[in-house]
Each structure stands twice: as C-alpha cells, then as structure tokens.
Amino acid sequence: MGAGDAVKVTTLALCLFLAGCPSFLPAIQGAINAAQWVGSIIDVADDSQKSWFKLNPNGSEQEKVEIAMFRARRALSALNGLALASKSVDEQNMVAARRELLDAYKNLEALFLSLSVPLQPGMKAATPPKIVQESRVESALAE
C-alpha cells in the first residue's frame, strides 16, 4: 500500500462525509485499514521468501510460493477495490472478497511453514522465513 492508496482512502472519506453517510465510514475505514495491514504482511513475506530462496535455491518450491503470493495480492487488490466502492462492509461481494483473501493467505502461510532445507553433515539447520499467523489476519479482516 503506497501513497496512492492513502489518497484513495482520503478521497473516499471526503466523499462519504460530503454525501452525508459518515455513519458507515468507520466500518469501511476499518476494512481498508485491515487490507492495508495484510498488504504490508504480504510485502514483508515476499521479501522474506526472496531472501530465503536466494540462500536456499529450490525452483519448484519458489514457484509455488510465487503463485501463492500472486493469488494473495490479487485477492487483496479485489478487496481494496470493493472496499472503496462499497456502501457497506457486509455486502456480499465484500464478504466474498475477505474470504478469498483469507483462503489465499492460509495457502501462503502453509507454504511458508513447509519450507525447509535437508540437513547435510556439518550443516546448521536453516531457519525458514516467518509469516504472521492466519488467525491474526482472520481477526483483522473480520472487524
């Protein structure tokens, strides 16, 4: 989430306020904040996986993680778009977008938890990259 997203959020808030609908602004803002937080987690996870695979090359595993990263980013983008266009966080499309993002994130977390390097004689165990637990992401998206 960059400066452009902050401008979108500010524009949305101003439009809602001017339209006389500030009663649901906190809920929409909460959804946007949660999406931004999950986006930052995905960014950090992406940096971590790139560092991991630079030190521990594994083309097939890296491809799986890259695909999961793409799916998570696509789901996040859809949620952001819906949050900016929605009148309610309870709209069916918003609920479905949250569910899709959570499913994509669960898949990404499972891949991160499965990363390992077979130990060779004299080798130290490699510490796999960490990712925020899915339960924390689910809580943030539910609010």
Cα 86–Cα 71–Cα 82 angle in degrees, nearest 5: 5
**Residue 119: exposed, middle, or buried by beta-carbon count in 10 A (0-12, 13-18, 19+)?**
exposed
User: With 60 as the cut, is the pLDDT of residue 22 above it?
Assistant: no
Q: For position 18, what pLDDT does the model report?
A: 42
Among 13-22, 45-54, 84-93, 99-108, the least confident range:
13-22
User: With 50 as the cut, is the pLDDT of residue 55 above it?
Assistant: yes
User: With 70 as the cut, is the pLDDT of residue 12 above it?
Assistant: no
DSSP assigned state of 75: H
Considering the entire predicted model, what is its pTM? 0.74
In a domain, 8, yes or no: no
In a domain, 82, yes or no: yes
In a domain, 121, yes or no: no
In a domain, 74, yes or no: yes
Token pair recorded at residue 51: 């560092």
Token pair recorded at residue 130: 């960490």
CATH number at residue 58: 1.20.140
User: With 60 as the cut, is the pLDDT of residue 114 above it?
Assistant: yes
In a domain, 1, yes or no: no
At 121, phi and psi to the nearest 5? -55, 130
Whether 49 and 112 have beta carbons less than 8 Å apart is answered as yes
For the chain, give me the number of helices (H) and strands (E)?
A: 5, 0
User: With 90 as the cut, is the pLDDT of residue 43 above it?
Assistant: yes
Q: For position 106, what pLDDT does the model report?
A: 95
Boundaries of domain holding 54 = 25-116+126-142
In a domain, 89, yes or no: yes
Higher local confidence (pLDDT), 118 or 75: 75
Total domain count, the chain: 1
**Residue 7: exposed, middle, or buried by beta-carbon count in 10 A (0-12, 13-18, 19+)?**
exposed
In a domain, 34, yes or no: yes
**In 10 A of CB 79, how many CB atoms?**
27
